[in-house]
Chain A
Amino acid sequence: MSHNQLTESGRLHHFLSIEGLKRPLLTEMMDRAEQFSSISHQQVKKVPLLRGKTIVNLFFENSTRTRTTFELAAKRLSADVISLNINTSSASKGESLRDTLHNLEAMHSDMFVVRHNQSGAAEFIAQHVAPHVSVINAGDGCHAHPTQAMLDMFTIRRHKQHFPDLRVAIIGDILHSRVARSQIQALATLGVGEIRVIAPKTLLPTDCKTLGVHVYHDMEAGLKDVDVVITLRLQLERMQGALLPSAREYFQCYGLTERKLSLAKPDAIVMHPGPINRGVEIASAVADGPQSVILEQVTHGIAVRMAIMSMTLGSQAEFHEVTP
């Protein structure tokens, strides 16, 4: 059960997981992102909305794209942002995390953006910060990556508009993918017609059936007539034990090639949360091809994160005494 992300009046206060959020809120997030995306085309790519707010990016795990786009999003909203890369040793987790947090809180931060290799880290932090402070989950272990899921939904909506008409296939390492988990929740909440996952048995979570997805082990059957193809990075660093024979063999079976993509609808879009392993889960010809929207996803990440930051920090109004 996720920590309550909403204020009493239903405003988004933390963003830890898609789970438990209703469709209108996800739609509002995308609408706001649409409004913010025009700022990137201005001469001064900045609005003063979050002037005077302090945002701390706490990255306990490496990231380039997510951290950079969170930083840019904060800066385009005129917030003060600092990014900390914190190397964790698993022995000193619980206690040191809390200590780090209280130190940063003593600096009067308004928001923490957290990435951590342990599932539940962002929620833990949300439970321990001062009431007015917002926490955004930028990826926790194998649990959730809700901002990535929302930028993916935004990208899909830019190309496909009406979610209920869509057939979406997610290919690859579902088991280790917090992205896939959040995507599936978001797609389901937005009422997508059919969600498919295509993966070898060893890379599927055991609770797959309960997620409301159709499971395929064969690319040819799974890709037939889909509108959106989402490939996932093979997370070799998270794999313990022999889940796969080799990257090469994986590409043979589950790598997205032009030939396999031709089974999807002709106007299907190809997505990938990045970073891509060329020749492992996706062929270069597809990643760089006309159906790929992979770089668009990166661009959209900024506007979507601006929307999420402004919505969550906007809820702070409820924690301040309103002086007329």
Chain B
Amino acid sequence: MTIPATNSDIQTLLTAMADEIRYSLDGKKPLLIGIHSGGVWVAQQLAAILGADFFDSPLGTLNIAYYRDDFTRIGMHPQVTPSDLPFAVDDRHLLLVDDVLYSGRTIRAALNEIFDYGRPASVTLAVLIERNGRELPIQADIIGQSLTMTEDEHIKLSNNNGLTLTLSTAKAGENDVA
């Protein structure tokens, strides 16, 4: 399977996503939230394309480590950068960004965390990659690209002087929250 692997492939997707975001959220003074760590990178790129005035505040970051559903099975995750939402979410329109939408569990956790900060007017979900394998009734509003992958296949966003995507084949279950 071919995936949008290179940085320029990804930039093309991001530009198209930014257009859709402008179309659906323009004039609503939205707030931008990225999920650690891939979602933050994607959110930063989107913010750069959409310009400084589009969002009403600097980027907020969420770390859903304390909201995951696998603590009893795995325990603590090795590294946790605290969430940082430098704004009040009450009655605001939020754009929630992640890199890959897979099982939907990360988004479930992120929504739970957001609602511990307040009650937003709306949450729009934007993801760079949407793939099959949902375990929860969660869908993205804005999608860079949809991929159909086997259970063994995993896609990962890296950030080394530019975003790149890599496809790997791993045993199922090793990476079941994405």
Contact = CB atoms under 8 A, between A and B. Distances in A.
Contact of B75 (A35, A42, A315): A315
B72 interface: yes
A35 B116 CA distance: 17
Contacts of B6: none
30 contacts: A11-B75, A32-B80, A34-B82, A35-B81, A35-B82, A38-B82, A38-B83, A38-B84, A39-B66, A42-B117, A43-B116, A43-B117, A43-B118, A44-B117, A47-B66, A48-B66, A48-B67, A49-B66, A49-B67, A77-B66, A310-B76, A311-B76, A313-B75, A314-B71, A314-B74, A314-B75, A316-B75, A320-B72, A322-B73, A323-B73
A317 B75 contact: yes
Interface of B: 66-67, 71-76, 80-84, 112-113, 116-118, 173
Of residues B67, B82, B84, which shows the largest number of chain A Cβ atoms within 10 Å of its Cβ?
A: B82
Contacts of A317: 71-75
A32 B82 CA distance: 10
A313 B80 CA distance: 17
Interface string A89-105: 00000000000000000
Contacts of A35: 80-82
A50 interface: yes
A314 B73 CA distance: 9
Contacts of B71: 49-50, 314, 317
Interface in A17-39: 32, 34-35, 38-39
Contacts of B117: 42-44
A217 interface: no
> Which 7 A-B residue pairings sit nearest by Cβ, starting from the closest?
A314-B75, A47-B66, A44-B116, A314-B76, A38-B82, A317-B75, A49-B66
Nearest to B112: A48
B101 to A, nearest CB: 21
A52 B69 CA distance: 12
A48 B72 CA distance: 12
Contact of A42 (B67, B73, B116): B116
A230 B83 CA distance: 33
A11 B72 CA distance: 14
Given A35-B81, A35-B82, A43-B117, A324 B173 contact: yes
Task: Assign chain A's interface to a size class.
Answer: 20 to 34
A46 interface: yes
Interface string A48-77: 111010000000000000000000000001
A323 B173 CA distance: 10
A44 B67 CA distance: 13
Contacts of A39: 66, 82
Contacts of B72: 52, 316-317, 320
Given A35-B81, A324-B173, A46 B116 contact: yes
Given A32-B76, A47-B66, 10 more contacts: A35-B81, A35-B82, A38-B84, A47-B67, A48-B67, A310-B76, A314-B76, A317-B71, A317-B72, A323-B73
A322 B80 CA distance: 23
A108 to B, nearest CB: 14
Nearest to B70: A317
Contacts of A52: 72
A87 to B, nearest CB: 35
A311 B80 CA distance: 13
A187 B75 CA distance: 28
A320 B74 CA distance: 10
Contacts of B118: 43
Contacts of B173: 324
B166 to A, nearest CB: 25
Interface string A110-136: 000000000000000000000000000
Contacts of B116: 42-44, 46-47
Contacts of B82: 34-35, 38-39
A306 B72 CA distance: 16
Of residues A43, A52, A324, which shows the largest number of chain B Cβ atoms within 10 Å of its Cβ?
A: A43
Interface in A296-324: 310-311, 313-318, 320, 322-324
Of residues B73, B75, B112, which shows the largest number of chain A Cβ atoms within 10 Å of its Cβ?
A: B75
A34 B82 CA distance: 9
Contacts of B113: 47
